Amino acid sequence: MAFLRPARQLCKSATTPVASTIRPPLLASTQLRQQRRWLATPTYPVTQNSAGSQGPTAMVFLNMGGPSTVDEVGDFLSRLFADGDLIPLGRLQSYLGPLISARRTPKIQKQYAAIGGGSPIRKWSEHQCAEMCKILDEISPQTAPHKPYVAFRYANPLTEEMYRKLLADGFGNGKGGRAIAFTQYPQYSCSTTGSSLNELWKWRQRLEGKTGALEDGSDGTIKWSVIDRWPVHPGLVEAFARNIEEKLLEYPEERRDKVILLFSAHSLPMSVVNRGDPYPAEVAATVHAVMHRLNHANPYRLCWQSQVGPQPWLGPQTQMTVEEYVAKGQKDLLLIPIAFTSDHIETLYELDEEVIGESGHADTIKRVESLNGNPIFIQALADLAKTHLDSGIVCSTQMHLRCPGCKSDRCAESKKFFASQQEQLGEV
- The count of residues interacting with ligand FES (CB under 6 A) is 8
Q: Is 193 in the site for ligand FES (CB under 6 A)?
A: no
For ligand FES, give the closer residue by CB, 50 or 414.
Answer: 414
Out of 190, 222, 351, 365, the only residue in the binding site for ligand FES (CB under 6 A) is 190
Helix runs in 121-225, H state only: 121-139, 159-168, 193-208
Between 271 and 295, name the residue whose CB sits nearer to ligand FES: 271
Rounded least distance, CB 190 to ligand FES, Å = 3
- Minimum gap (Å) between residue 132 Cβ and ligand FES: 28
Distance CA 143, CA 137 (A): 8
Dihedral angle of Cα 340, 182, 41, 222, to the nearest 10 degrees: 170
- From CA 293, how far away is CA 262, in angstroms rounded? 16
165 or 402: whose CB is closer to ligand FES?
Answer: 402
We find the least distance from the C-beta atom of residue 402 to ligand FES, in angstroms, to be: 4
Helices (H) and strands (E) in the chain, counts: 15, 8
282 within 8 A of 187, measured Cβ to Cβ? yes
Cα separation, 358 vs 320, in Å, equals 12
Q: Pick one of 48, 264, 408, 424: the residue that binds ligand FES (CB under 6 A).
A: 408
Q: How far is the CB of 403 from ligand FES (least distance, A)?
A: 3
Of the candidate residues 403, 417, 419, 428, the single one contacting ligand FES (CB under 6 A): 403
Shortest Cβ distance from residue 409 to ligand FES (Å)?
A: 9
Interatomic CA distance for residues 407 and 402, integer angstroms: 9
| Interaction between residue 402 and ligand FES (CB under 6 A) | yes
352 in active site: no
Integer Rg of the chain from CA:
21
Estimate to the nearest angstrom the gap between the alpha carbon of 125 and the chain centroid: 11
Q: Which stretch binds ligand FES (CB under 6 A): 107-115, 258-266, 282-290, 405-413?
A: 405-413
Which one of the listed residues 83, 85, 228, 233 is annotated catalytic? 233
Q: Which is nearer to ligand FES, 136 or 190 (CB)?
A: 190
Strand order in the sheet with 146-152: 146-152, 57-63, 178-183, 223-227
Nearer to ligand FES, 113 or 412 (CB): 412
409 is catalytic: no
The reply to whether 202 sits near ligand FES by the rule CB under 6 A is no
Residue 130's contacts (CB-CB under 8 Å, 6 or more residues apart) are 148
**Applying CB under 6 A, does 406 fall inside the site for ligand FES?**
yes
DSSP state of 46: -
Tell me which of 411, 418, 424, 425 binds ligand FES, using CB under 6 A: 411
Nearest-angstrom CA–CA distance, 17 and 33: 14
Sign of CA dihedral 84, 348, 316, 266: positive
**Contact residues for ligand FES (CB under 6 A)?**
190, 194, 275, 402-403, 406, 408, 411
Catalytic residues: 233, 383
